């Protein structure tokens, strides 16, 4: 297969999707790493074929310098916005299965560790053929912690965050978002009952923002999270999303449709967001407060080729020198 690097220099409103080309019949998460680039009108602009990756490329985010971040197993990827090309993989990050990133005003980076288990749980082979990778020298899949890195990408602190029970039994901090005050991280273990918080100033677990009632079979769980600049929290919950205030009160609930919306990216206009689902391979552009769907990208990547594992928007920040 001929792979042509066609990703363009980033333009304001560009949308990026992690869409690995799954081509391994023995591993349903393995394939050729790929990030798709769309313009602000949801038209395809280009493709970046990633280097140094083997499985789902996801957890996309854009930092304050305009650099696009993505993750695969223990690799942390960066894409230069001026060139639209992948930068060399840095060796400063601890080898962990990161899947979410938040960026502080001082340049610090907070990464959430997606996995929290010693080994794949019994019976997981009925759900996935994924080849799980242990942390070198640790003999565990992951600890489910939050890691703070300095602006030069060297480790600053490790926060031993709690995690919550969920269906698969091996997930940790799957989605995380930095509060606008930058005093704490709000996070969840997807399909669990808890929206948790960790004080990154005083290094302590905080009370949950929300703890949902019932058991895990009732569908009353949380998946993806994202803070709005005013401190309200967006949380996807199956076919819907909630807008939650700082006291944990649900202010509004809007319907997205099936099925299990797994990532959120805020749009630079301050009014819209992008939500994606790895299950149906679709991205929706949604007006946050009204719930109105104003745009849609359909990748066609559904089971057994489902690989839409991250979404991000480029807000038009100053480019790297």
| Percentage, residues of the chain above pLDDT 90 | 86
What's the rounded Cα separation, in Å, for the pair 233 and 222?
A: 12
Chain mean pLDDT for the chain: 95
Asked if residue 150 has pLDDT above 90, the reply is yes
DSSP letter for 63, please: -
pLDDT, tens digit, 9 for 90 and up, residues 265-307? 999 999 999 999 999 999 999 999 999 999 999 999 998 899 9
pLDDT, tens digit, 9 for 90 and up, residues 206-238? 999 999 998 877 888 999 999 999 999 999 998
**What is the bridge-based pairing of β-strands 15-19 and 225-227?**
unpaired
pLDDT, tens digit, 9 for 90 and up, residues 39-60? 999 999 999 999 999 999 999 9
> Measured over all CA atoms, what is the biggest interatomic distance in the chain, rounded to whole angstroms?
53
What's the rounded Cα separation, in Å, for the pair 148 and 48?
A: 28
pLDDT, tens digit, 9 for 90 and up, residues 44-101? 999 999 999 999 999 999 999 999 999 999 999 999 999 999 999 999 999 999 999 9
Task: Please give the pLDDT value at position 321.
Answer: 46
What's the rounded Cα separation, in Å, for the pair 150 and 283?
A: 32
Instruction: Spell out the residues 6+ positions from residue 16 whose beta carbon is closer than 8 angstroms to its own.
Output: 35, 36, 37, 38, 60, 62, 68, 310, 311, 312, 313, 314
Contact 19, 35 (CB under 8 A): yes
Q: Which fold has domain 15-313?
A: Methylamine Dehydrogenase; Chain H (2.130.10)
pTM: 0.96
Model confidence band, residue 128 (pLDDT cutoffs 50, 70, 90): confident
How would you class 1 by CB atoms within 10 Å of its CB: exposed for 0-12, middle for 13-18, buried for 19 or more? exposed
Model confidence band, residue 186 (pLDDT cutoffs 50, 70, 90): very high
What's the rounded Cα separation, in Å, for the pair 280 and 302?
A: 5
Please report where in the chains the tokens 């029970």 appear, as a residue: 165
What's the rounded Cα separation, in Å, for the pair 234 and 117?
A: 28
Asked if residue 122 has pLDDT above 90, the reply is no
Asked if residue 188 has pLDDT above 70, the reply is yes
Task: Please give the pLDDT value at position 45.
Answer: 98
Run of H or E residues at 68: strand 68-72
Phi and psi at residue 54, in whole multiples of 5°? Answer: -130, -20
Task: Please give the pLDDT value at position 124.
Answer: 85
Asked if residue 243 has pLDDT above 50, the reply is yes
């Amino acid at each position: 297969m001929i792979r042509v690097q066609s990703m363009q220099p980033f333009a304001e409103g560009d949308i990026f999707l992690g869409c690995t080309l799954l081509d391994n019949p023995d591993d349903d998460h393995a394939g050729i790493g790929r990030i798709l680039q769309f313009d602000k009108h949801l038209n395809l602009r280009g493709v970046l074929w990633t280097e140094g990756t083997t499985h789902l490329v996801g957890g996309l985010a854009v930092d304050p310098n305009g650099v696009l971040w993505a993750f695969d197993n223990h690799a942390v990827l960066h894409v230069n916005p001026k060139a639209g090309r992948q930068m060399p993989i840095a060796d400063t990050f601890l080898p962990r299965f990161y899947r979410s990133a938040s960026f502080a005003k001082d340049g610090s980076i907070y990464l959430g560790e997606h996995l929290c288990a010693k080994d794949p749980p019994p019976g997981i082979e009925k759900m996935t053929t994924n080849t799980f990778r242990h942390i070198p020298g640790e003999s565990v899949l992951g600890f489910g912690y939050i890691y703070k890195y300095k602006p030069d990408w060297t480790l600053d602190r490790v926060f031993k965050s709690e995690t919550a029970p969920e269906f698969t039994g091996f997930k940790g901090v799957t989605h995380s978002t930095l509060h606008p005050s930058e005093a704490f991280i709000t996070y969840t273990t997807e399909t669990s009952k808890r929206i948790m918080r960790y004080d990154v100033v005083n290094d302590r677990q905080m009370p949950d923002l929300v703890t949902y009632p019932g058991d895990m079979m009732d569908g009353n769980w949380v998946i993806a999270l994202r803070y709005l600049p005013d401190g309200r929290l967006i949380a996807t919950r199956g076919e819907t999303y909630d807008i939650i205030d700082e006291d944990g009160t649900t202010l509004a609930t809007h319907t997205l449709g099936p099925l299990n919306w797994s990532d959120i990216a805020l749009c630079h206009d301050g009014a819209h967001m992008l939500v994606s689902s790895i299950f149906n391979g679709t991205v929706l552009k949604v007006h946050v407060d009204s719930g109105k769907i104003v745009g849609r990208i359909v990748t066609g990547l559904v089971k057994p080729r489902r690989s839409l594992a991250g979404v991000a928007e480029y807000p038009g920040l100053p480019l790297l020198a």
